Structure 1
Amino acid sequence: MGRNLSSLKLRQNGNQQKRESKKEIKKIANTQPKKHDSESSSLIYPNGDTAFKSILSARFCSAIWLHITDCDETFNYWEPTHYLVFGKGLQTWEYSPEFALRSYTYLLIHAVPAKIYQKLFNPNPLLIFYFVRCLLGLLCSFVEVYFYKAVCREFGVHVGRMCLAFQLFAAGMFISSTAFLPSSFAMYMLCTACAAWWTEKYEFAIFATALGSLLGWPFAALLGVPIALDMLFVKKLYRTFLQWSAISAIAILVPMVIIDSMHFGKLVIAPWNIVKYNILGGAGPNLYGTEPFSYYLVNGFLNFNFVWVLALSTPAALVLSHYFVPSRNKSTLTLPHYISLSPLFLWLVIFFTQPHKEERFLFPVYPLICLCSSITLDIVQKLFFRVWSYIKTFPQGTHYLDTTSFIMIGTFIITSLLGLARVYALYTNYHAPLDIFMELNRYPGEGKIPETAAINVCLGKDWHRYPNSFFLPNTNWNVRFIKSEFDGMLPAPYSQTENGTKIIHSHFNDKNQEEPSLYFDIAKCHFLVDLNLGRESVLEPIYANKKDQWRVIKSIKFLNVEKSHRFFRAFYIPFISDRYLTYGTMHLLQTIKQSRIK
Structure 2
Amino acid sequence: MGPKAKTKSIQNRKIGGKSDHLSREKQPEKVTELKEGFHRKEDTKDIWSPNIKTVFKALASARLCAAVWNNITDCDETYNYWEPLHHLLFGSGFQTWEYSPVFALRSYLFLHLYALPAWIYGLIFHSNQVLVFYFLRWLLGFASTTCETYFYKGVLQQFGPKVGRLTFLFLLFSAGMFQSSSSFLPSTFSMYMTLLLMGAWFQGNFVLAVLSTAISAFLSWPFAGIIGIGIAVDALVLRKKWRMFISWCIISTFVILIPIILVDSYHYGRLVVAPLNIVLYNVFSGHGPDLYGTSPWTFYFLNGFLNFNFIFPLALVALPAHLITRKLKPIKNQSFPIWLALLPLYVWILIFFTQPHKEERFLYPIYPLFGLAGAITWTCAESCLRALKLSEKFVQSVTLALVISSSIVSVSRIVGQYRGYHAPMDVFLELNRLSWENEGDTEEYNVCVGKEWHRFPSSFFLPNNMKLRFIPSEFRGQLPRPFDPPPNGTWTIPPHMNDLNKEEPTRYVNAPLKDCHYLVDLETGQATEREPQYSQMTSEWEIIFQVDFLDNARSPQFLRAFYIPWFSETYCKRIPYVLLKRRPISNKKKRQR
- Scaled by the length of structure 1, what TM-score is found? 0.90
Q: Distance in 2 between matches of 1:181 and 1:217?
A: 10
Task: Report the residue type matching 1:193 in the other structure.
Answer: L
Q: Distance in 2 between matches of 1:140 and 1:147?
A: 10
Q: In the alignment, which residue of structure 1 is the partner of 2:454?
A: 464
Q: Distance in 1 between matches of 2:547 and 2:173?
A: 27
Deviations 1:16-56 (A, max 9, x none): xxxxxxxxxxxxx9973279998588543210001000001
Matched, 1:379 2:380: yes
Distance 1:591 1:209, change over 3 A: same
**Equivalent of 2:395 in 392, 396, 404:** 404
- The DSSP-based 3-state class of the residue aligned with 2:328 is coil
Task: Report the residue type matching 2:365 in the other structure.
Answer: P
- What are the within-5 Å matches in structure 2 for residues 485-524 of structure 1? 485-520=474-509, 521=511, 522-524=513-515
Q: In the alignment, which residue of structure 2 is the partner of 1:316?
A: 320
Task: Report the residue type matching 1:417 in the other structure.
Answer: I
Cα contact 1:385–1:403 (8 A) shared by 2: no
Distance 1:67 1:573, change over 3 A: same
Q: In the alignment, which residue of structure 2 is the partner of 1:548?
A: 539
- The DSSP-based 3-state class of the residue aligned with 1:267 is coil
**Equivalent of 1:87 in 88, 91, 110:** 91
Distance 1:535 1:238, change over 3 A: same
Matched, 1:263 2:280: no
Q: Distance in 1 between matches of 2:187 and 2:107?
A: 14
Matched, 1:187 2:188: no
Q: In the alignment, which residue of structure 1 is the partner of 2:371?
A: 370
Q: Distance in 2 between matches of 1:402 and 1:577?
A: 36
Q: Distance in 2 between matches of 1:455 and 1:170?
A: 41
Distance 1:582 1:114, change over 3 A: same
Q: In the alignment, which residue of structure 1 is the partner of 2:295?
A: 291
Matched, 1:116 2:82: no
Cα contact 2:541–2:581 (8 A) shared by 1: yes
Task: Report the residue type matching 1:345 in the other structure.
Answer: Y
**Equivalent of 2:434 in 443, 447, 460:** 443
Cα contact 2:98–2:105 (8 A) shared by 1: yes
- What are the within-5 Å matches in structure 2 for residues 134-145 of structure 1? 134-145=138-149
- The DSSP-based 3-state class of the residue aligned with 1:414 is helix
Q: Distance in 1 between matches of 2:342 and 2:131?
A: 39
Matched, 1:216 2:220: yes
Cα contact 1:36–1:157 (8 A) shared by 2: no
TM-superposed deviation, 1:296: 0.2
TM-superposed deviation, 1:233: 1.2
Q: Distance in 1 between matches of 2:569 and 2:435?
A: 37
Distance 1:571 1:332, change over 3 A: farther
Task: Report the residue type matching 1:459 in the other structure.
Answer: V
Q: In the alignment, which residue of structure 1 is the partner of 2:359?
A: 358
**Equivalent of 2:135 in 109, 131, 136:** 131
- The DSSP-based 3-state class of the residue aligned with 1:136 is helix
Distance 1:347 1:594, change over 3 A: farther
Deviations 1:534-585 (A, max 9, x none): 1111110110111111110111011111111111110111121222211111
TM-superposed deviation, 1:594: 7.4
Cα contact 2:219–2:256 (8 A) shared by 1: yes
- What are the within-5 Å matches in structure 2 for residues 48-59 of structure 1? 48-59=52-63
Task: Report the residue type matching 2:28 in the other structure.
Answer: Q
Distance 1:204 1:552, change over 3 A: same
Q: Distance in 2 between matches of 1:308 and 1:458?
A: 41
TM-superposed deviation, 1:402: 4.8
Cα contact 1:36–1:156 (8 A) shared by 2: no
Q: In the alignment, which residue of structure 2 is the partner of 1:482?
A: 471
- What are the within-5 Å matches in structure 2 for residues 221-240 of structure 1? 221-240=225-244
Q: Distance in 1 between matches of 2:107 and 2:473?
A: 31
Structure 2 unaligned blocks of 5 or more: 1-24, 588-593
Task: Report the residue type matching 1:455 in the other structure.
Answer: Y
- Higher mean alpha-carbon deviation, 519-528 vs 91-100, is at 519-528
- What are the within-5 Å matches in structure 2 for residues 17-28 of structure 1? none
Deviations 1:212-240 (A, max 9, x none): 11111110011112211211111111111
- The DSSP-based 3-state class of the residue aligned with 1:513 is coil
TM-superposed deviation, 1:157: 0.7
Distance 1:62 1:595, change over 3 A: farther
Identical-residue share of aligned pairs (%): 45
Q: In the alignment, which residue of structure 1 is the partner of 2:64?
A: 60
Q: Distance in 1 between matches of 2:154 and 2:373?
A: 14
Cα contact 1:74–1:468 (8 A) shared by 2: yes
- The DSSP-based 3-state class of the residue aligned with 1:523 is coil
Q: Distance in 2 between matches of 1:405 and 1:196?
A: 30
TM-superposed deviation, 1:283: 3.6
- The DSSP-based 3-state class of the residue aligned with 2:530 is coil
Aligned residues: 553
TM-superposed deviation, 1:83: 0.3
Distance 1:487 1:236, change over 3 A: same
Distance 1:291 1:362, change over 3 A: same
Cα contact 1:421–1:571 (8 A) shared by 2: yes
Q: Distance in 1 between matches of 2:44 and 2:582?
A: 66
TM-superposed deviation, 1:381: 1.2
Matched, 1:414 2:414: no
- The DSSP-based 3-state class of the residue aligned with 1:507 is coil
Cα contact 1:440–1:472 (8 A) shared by 2: yes
TM-superposed deviation, 1:443: 1.9
Q: Distance in 1 between matches of 2:488 and 2:56?
A: 43
- Scaled by the length of structure 2, what TM-score is found? 0.90
**Equivalent of 1:201 in 197, 200, 205:** 205
- What are the within-5 Å matches in structure 2 for residues 321-360 of structure 1? 321-322=325-326, 325-327=327-329, 331-360=332-361
Task: Report the residue type matching 1:406 in the other structure.
Answer: S
Q: In the alignment, which residue of structure 1 is the partner of 2:154?
A: 150
Q: Distance in 2 between matches of 1:277 and 1:268?
A: 14
Distance 1:347 1:42, change over 3 A: closer
Q: Distance in 2 between matches of 1:595 and 1:456?
A: 20
Cα contact 1:384–1:404 (8 A) shared by 2: yes
Cα contact 2:187–2:365 (8 A) shared by 1: yes
Distance 1:82 1:236, change over 3 A: same
Cα contact 2:46–2:161 (8 A) shared by 1: no
TM-superposed deviation, 1:316: 2.2
Distance 1:205 1:41, change over 3 A: farther
**Equivalent of 1:584 in 575, 583, 587:** 575
- The DSSP-based 3-state class of the residue aligned with 2:104 is coil
Deviations 1:109-150 (A, max 9, x none): 001111111222221100000000100100110000000011
Deviations 1:235-265 (A, max 9, x none): 1111111110111111111111000000000
Deviations 1:358-412 (A, max 9, x none): 00000000000011111111111110111135xxxx7xxxxxx554101110001
Q: Distance in 2 between matches of 1:453 and 1:41?
A: 69
Structure 1 unaligned blocks of 5 or more: 1-28, 395-400
Cα contact 1:283–1:510 (8 A) shared by 2: no
Q: Distance in 1 between matches of 2:324 and 2:299?
A: 28
Q: Distance in 1 between matches of 2:586 and 2:311?
A: 57
